[in-house]
Chains A and B, each alone.
Chain A
Amino acid sequence: MESRPVTVKDKAILEDRAKDKAVLRRSLFRSDATQKILAFASLIVMFVVFSLASPNFAKFNNIIGILLATAVNGVLAVGVTFVIITGGIDLSVGTVMTFASVMTGVFITFWKLPIIIGVLGGVAAGALCGFINGSITAKMKIPPFIATLGMMMIAKGLSLVISGTRPIYFIDTPVFSKIAMGSVLGIPNAVLVFFGAAIIASLILTKTVLGRYTFALGSNEEAARLSGINVDAWKIAIYTLGGIFSGLAGVMMASRLNSAQPALGQGYELEAIAAVVIGGTSLSGGEGTILGTVIGAFIMSVLTNGLRILSIPQEWQTVVIGVIVIAAVYADIIRRRGQ
């Protein structure tokens, strides 16, 4: 290496490199990563604490129970993550899930269609609801909060009307319940479906055009529009994708209960949104990860499970989760203020 005097330009370059490194360091410890690490650390801490507090907690069956309990809420949360990253919200995921399970019941039990058609039909019913949500938001310019609030009620009402307010049982098709409750190597299918869905969602979010535009819309919708992106079409696509995940959750729910329960569903949307928020996705849009959401969903079910094992009444479990949600968002605000 030849040596030469350090010029002003070299210095500038060196300074810049140092700055780049600082930026890198900052983005590791500051942005999405902090919240995720924080969330993951809390999950570990909870796990350890509950394991020490009760010998029953860390048992294989209980762990499987936790995984199973996370599956449905997890799939819903993964779907709503996309919508929240665009800066929107989807309040209808809970009842759309119910609507999807009722439709699955209609297809399989009432119309005697093959199970595969019933499953795909249920997912399609969810997709349709998402498509309508997206269209109302994008084309009619109705804020997503209102649009999906409307859809929440519509889906709830339709589920009751279609089912005649009675559960639809899958008595003729015992195989149907295997979708969620069958297992591979001791791990229930529902859990595998959840992990599969999360991995696919994560790939969509980080590797595809749809994912890129999800972030773009949440970061600066006007800039996206001015860059020639068909904002309305992509928004509809993203809400539809959210609907697909709700539909999938609906099928899993129906399979797990071996029935479509039309009165179920309301309240699930808030648990899903809570999981997303705990996982570090910003409600103001532009940032978020599927991994964060998955961790968020686990935190909620570990907490519920752990508190139950410690015989803390269910009412108090809800209180604790509420506190956790607020704490998670507050941690996020503190982090932002530090910038």
Chain B
Amino acid sequence: MGEVLVLMEGIEKTFPGVHALSQCQFELRAGEVHALVGENGAGKSTLVKVLTGVYTKDAGRIFYKGKEVEIPNPRVAQELGISIIHQELNLMPHLTVAQNIFIGREPRRGIRFLLNEKEINQKTKQLLDMIHLDLDPRTKVADLTVAKQQMVEIAKALSYNSEVLIMDEPTSALSDAETQELFRIIRQLRDKGVGIIYISHRLEELKQISDRVTVMRDGRYIDTVRTQDVTIDKIISMMVGREIYETSRANPENASQEVVLEVKNLNRGRVIKNVSFNLKRGEILGFAGLMGAGRTEVARAIFGADPIDSGEIYVKGKKVDIKSPRDAVKCGIGYLSEDRKRYGLMLGMDVETNIVLATIEKFLGFLGWVNKARVRAEAQSHVDELRIKTPGLQQKVKYLSGGNQQKVVIGKWLARDCEILIFDEPTRGIDVGAKSEIYKLLNDLAESGKSIIMISSELPEILRMSHRIAVMCEGRITGELSASEATQERIMQYATMRENRENDARYSSVSVPDATALGG
């Protein structure tokens, strides 16, 4: 390992209501892959956003190559030589691959104002060749698969010739072969002396790729260790640092055999292909898959939020025709969206209103007046049942924590007497403590006879919670596993079962030891 590239110390960052970073430190050397790990909400992303000028720190110092620097915006970070590949893809879908890569620093010609499209395309081609990506630079990004879009992001970061490269969950949408290809590129860059900050939830990857690991928890720095000196278990215990709710593996025998929901040959454009499955009373059915596999699309289709091309849905053995969310709710299906702030809640309104919103007809009295007392009683009962931490029913939902917001959404559907609940990434963006409460809640709901579909990208969560697991890839269900036969490896294997193996074929020149190990 070479000189110290980045040194951060005493970093503080507070958002309204959240102390996101407190006395954080971090060191990156040239020619190392430095993994940054921690549970959701531990502050990893915030820390790198401070380093890349997306957020400004409240206090603390940043040194770059020994000199103290201020990084007030992303441009300054880029000029210093610090690039980041964000977790959420940051591409412009209407522009081409080449236009995306060179956005902000297009080669010019003539009077400095004209674009040199030819040069952009040529340079992009070279760049793509370098990472063995066979793509036409003139392809619109909207026409690419998520995995290819990810590769474009990587090519973009590479094009800055950065000395510091930050990757935030780069493999979340990649297949094994693609991941190995990414690792090959990372090693190549490391050997050139680039310092790489690697953020990932997939701890098994760290062993393969990282030299050192820094662990964060609840916005604090915990420790930095050499990867080869620690076990994954040790890293996990550093990350968690406290007792979290662990259920014994869900027992498939508990579920009854009564099928409450059956979906047959569901199709919708390119995103849902011939999806069939069933859901039993009291069961938690996990939906696993990579980003963009079509899980949310299936949920939205069943819920009537998107029109379907073909397919049949049976609720309790009766064929139903769901054309809108209203129909779905009538059939007793509730959907808790991935992005609860956008689709699940009215943030500016209070807890009470949010809970009874979908049920308001029940409380209408003479001339359509709302019976306030009954509304209050109903809302209070759900607040108690779900143990929603709120100062009162009149509290605006936006002031609650993520976990409690999630509970308000659950309360809404319980008030509506939904028998079938679809949870889309129920624990995304909520802290470890609230997470375990949500797990408990899901189990309680299942035990009380509700049937649950849980979409999650976190494999441990899927494995811990599900009675059965359906795995999707590119719009198809590629496998179904019972709780007892499911392992992370088997799920990943199904999750990357692409229809055409073009990616694997292209990377066939690369040795892929781990992929074969997984395939076995």
Residues of A within 8 A of B (CB): 8-9, 11-13, 15-16, 20, 23, 26-27, 31, 207-212, 215-216, 218-220, 222-230, 286-287, 339
Q: B8-16, B92-100, B203-211, B241-249: which one contacts chain A? A: B92-100
B134 near A215 with CB under 8 A, answer no
A223 near B139 with CB under 8 A, answer no
Shortest distance in angstroms between B152's beta carbon and chain A's nearest beta carbon? 12
Chain B neighbourhood of A229, CB < 8 A: 103-104
Of residues A218, A219, A287, which shows the largest number of chain B Cβ atoms within 10 Å of its Cβ?
Answer: A219
Cα–Cα, bound, A217→B500 (Å)? 35
Specify the chain A residue showing the minimal Cβ separation from B101: A227
Shortest distance in angstroms between B149's beta carbon and chain A's nearest beta carbon? 11
Shortest distance in angstroms between A335's beta carbon and chain B's nearest beta carbon? 13
Cα–Cα, bound, A215→B115 (Å)? 14
Contact of B269 among A11, A208, A226, A339 (CB under 8 A): A339
Contact of A226 among B54, B99, B139 (CB under 8 A): B54
Q: Which residues B84-108 have CB closer than 8 A to chain A?
A: 84, 86, 90-95, 99, 103-106, 108
* B18 within 8 Å of A (CB atoms): no
A223 near B74 with CB under 8 A, answer no
Contact of A208 among B95, B115, B136 (CB under 8 A): B115
A13 near B134 with CB under 8 A, answer yes
Shortest distance in angstroms between A107's beta carbon and chain B's nearest beta carbon? 29
Cα–Cα, bound, A207→B54 (Å)? 30
A219 near B93 with CB under 8 A, answer yes
Chain A neighbourhood of B73, CB < 8 A: 228
Shortest distance in angstroms between A227's beta carbon and chain B's nearest beta carbon? 4
* B369 within 8 Å of A (CB atoms): no
List 22 A-B pairs, Cβ < 8 Å: A8-B505, A9-B508, A12-B505, A27-B140, A31-B140, A207-B114, A209-B115, A210-B113, A212-B106, A215-B94, A215-B95, A216-B92, A216-B99, A219-B93, A219-B94, A223-B91, A224-B103, A226-B84, A227-B74, A228-B78, A228-B105, A286-B92
A16 near B90 with CB under 8 A, answer no
B103 near A227 with CB under 8 A, answer yes
B143 near A27 with CB under 8 A, answer yes
Cα–Cα, bound, A137→B457 (Å)? 38
The prevalent SS among residues of A at the interface is helix
Cα–Cα, bound, A339→B73 (Å)? 37
Cα–Cα, bound, A26→B270 (Å)? 14
* B202 within 8 Å of A (CB atoms): no
Specify the chain B residue showing the minimal Cβ separation from A10: B505
Chain B neighbourhood of A9, CB < 8 A: 505-506, 508
Chain A neighbourhood of B86, CB < 8 A: 226
Shortest distance in angstroms between A172's beta carbon and chain B's nearest beta carbon? 39
Given A8-B508, A12-B505, A207-B115, 15 other A-B residues pairs in contact with their CB atoms under 8 A: A11-B505, A12-B506, A20-B139, A23-B140, A31-B140, A212-B99, A215-B94, A215-B95, A216-B92, A219-B92, A222-B90, A223-B103, A228-B78, A229-B104, A287-B94
Specify the chain B residue showing the minimal Cβ separation from A11: B505
Chain A neighbourhood of B143, CB < 8 A: 23, 26-27
Q: Which residues B469-520 have CB closer than 8 A to chain A?
A: 500, 502, 505-506, 508
Chain A neighbourhood of B54, CB < 8 A: 226
Chain A neighbourhood of B140, CB < 8 A: 23, 27, 31
Task: Enumerate the 7 nearest inter-chain pairs by beta-carbon distance, A residue then B residue, closest first.
Answer: A219-B92, A286-B94, A12-B505, A223-B90, A228-B75, A219-B94, A227-B104
A220 near B93 with CB under 8 A, answer yes
Cα–Cα, bound, A218→B500 (Å)? 34
Specify the chain B residue showing the minimal Cβ separation from A30: B143
Shortest distance in angstroms between B102's beta carbon and chain A's nearest beta carbon? 9
Chain B neighbourhood of A222, CB < 8 A: 90
A-facing mask of B378-408, CB < 8 A → 1, else 0?
A: 0000000000000000000000000000000
Shortest distance in angstroms between B86's beta carbon and chain A's nearest beta carbon? 7
B113 near A209 with CB under 8 A, answer yes
Cα–Cα, bound, A226→B54 (Å)? 7
Cα–Cα, bound, A312→B308 (Å)? 43
